[in-house]
Amino acid sequence: MMDYTKFLAKVVAHRKGNLIRDINALYEKKPSGIVFAGGMPNVATFPIKDISLTFKPNISLKLDERELSSALQYLPTQGYAPLLKKWKEFQTRWHKPKYNDWDAIVMCGSMDGCNKVFEMMINPNDPIMIQIPTYSGVIGALRPLSPEIVQINQDADGIIPEDIAEQCEQRRRDGKPMPKFLYVNPTAANPTGTVLSDDRRRQVYKLAQIYDFLIVEDDPYCFIHFLDKQPLSFFSLDTDGRVIRLDSFSKIISSGMRLGVVTAGKKIVSILSVHMSNSLLHAPALSQVVLYKLLDVWGWDKFEEHFKDVQRFYRERRDIMLAAIEKHLTGLAEWTVPQGGMFFWLKIQGLENATDLAMQKSAPAGVFVLPESAFNYTNTYSNNCLRLSYSYASPEEMDKGLSILANIIRENVKQNSR
């Protein structure tokens, strides 16, 4: 199994477990014990008497006394035990992991997972690789840790393995340390909508072995791709324990429930667990119990059927948005058709300052779009792209919004040529 020592930030050595949490975990294993430790409030004093749920298509149920008590009470740090067991069952079924020494921890969404994973590994100036452009939340989580950012370019097939190899080779020649990890959002990347090909995933994993870096696989759109075949996950390729996989329930179950799972080598999960035990204590109990009940009553077949429905929903919207983009922006912008997720990434003709266009022109006209600058770590990159989401607006709004945007772009081109 991997020795993670060289990948860890100094802060990890200073974090100690929370004894109250550790003793609670012992009680979980021996519920017949007498609890004088900890400060578990008595559930009898809580004002919620029962919780009833109705899941699609029409399954109604009520939490039993034990479930209600778990939903309202503190939970073990790693998560609600029945949910953890279930999700590990799913990971095994879905990814067929190639090594045994892995574990999982429930977190408050993939963002919480990314944040804690970054804190676990980054000392100021430590080199790390990120795909550019990248999700703005990730950029925001990285900035305060002051890593040295090695930017990996993408094309229509996602991150370019040759770029990783070249930059690592150059660092080797210059006697610089290797990046500790690569952050990658492989399926339906935010903001570009590309899916990293299986071939490239294999190449990138090989490079991780050659140059000895870890892979942070942030995969919230894993179930929202528009391809015939489910892409291979890095976790499923992992033989060494060098992949830290982040799943999110935000896009397929509920974003407000704030749930995600980090799956990785046992040692990594135990470090994250120590952090969790001194910060959030655990992800929301009510959300975890509700998610467990859903997965339990649905079973895996229905779960998979559900995300096929979600895929169909977004694919239809992508097609409607594509038609509206072709109608209004032909000649004004370039784009590749997103292979999954929720976003179009448009390169706008003649645009130099997408931030200005988004904030000073488009927003006052009532059309809200995101500029490229939100997805770049440094401002040395171009700022001529816009991200437009097709997840939320109605077809009529898409048509109207794109018509307004087209006029703004035309006006901008005119101004530039004056």
Ligand X SMILES: Cc1ncc(COP(=O)(O)O)c(C=O)c1O
Site string for ligand X, 210-249 (x = CB under 6 A): --------x-x---------------------------x-
**Rounded CA separation 150/270 (Å):** 28
Q: Tell me if 250 contacts ligand X by CB under 6 A.
A: yes
Site string for ligand X, 51-90 (x = CB under 6 A): ----------------------------------------
Span interacting with ligand X, options 108-116, 172-180, 288-296, 381-389, rule CB under 6 A? 108-116
Site string for ligand X, 306-345 (x = CB under 6 A): ----------------------------------------
Structure tokens at 272: 């994250």
Q: Which is nearer to ligand X, 241 or 341 (CB)?
A: 341
Task: From 270, 269, 262, select the one nearest 235 (Cα to Cα).
Answer: 262
Q: Tell me if 115 contacts ligand X by CB under 6 A.
A: no
Task: From 337, 332, 308, 340, select the one nearest 321 (Cα to Cα).
Answer: 337
DSSP 33-44: S---SS-PPPGG
Q: Tell me if 109 contacts ligand X by CB under 6 A.
A: yes
Q: Which is nearer to ligand X, 24 or 154 (CB)?
A: 154
Q: How far is the CB of 352 from ligand X (least distance, A)?
A: 26
Q: Which ranges of 248-352 would DSSP assign to H, the alpha helix?
A: 266-277, 285-329
Q: Which is nearer to ligand X, 306 or 410 (CB)?
A: 306
Site string for ligand X, 118-137 (x = CB under 6 A): -----------------x-x
Which of 146, 209, 239, 255 contacts ligand X by CB under 6 A? 255
Task: From 242, 193, 194, 182, select the one nearest 218 (Cα to Cα).
Answer: 182
Q: Tell me if 185 contacts ligand X by CB under 6 A.
A: yes
Task: From 279, 405, 270, select the one nearest 351 (Cα to Cα).
Answer: 405
235: phi then psi, degrees, rounded to nearest 5: -60, -40
Task: From 28, 24, 44, select the one nearest 36 (Cα to Cα).
Answer: 24
Q: Residues 6 or more apart from 42 whose CB is under 8 A from it?
A: none
Site string for ligand X, 275-304 (x = CB under 6 A): ------------------------------
**Rounded CA separation 115/212 (Å):** 22
**Rounded CA separation 78/24 (Å):** 12
Q: How far is the CB of 262 from ligand X (least distance, A)?
A: 11
**Rounded CA separation 40/191 (Å):** 43
Span interacting with ligand X, options 39-47, 104-112, 195-203, 269-277, rule CB under 6 A? 104-112
Q: Which is nearer to ligand X, 145 or 408 (CB)?
A: 145
- Please report, as ranges, the residues that interact with ligand X according to CB under 6 A: 109-111, 135, 137, 185, 190, 218, 220, 248, 250, 255, 260
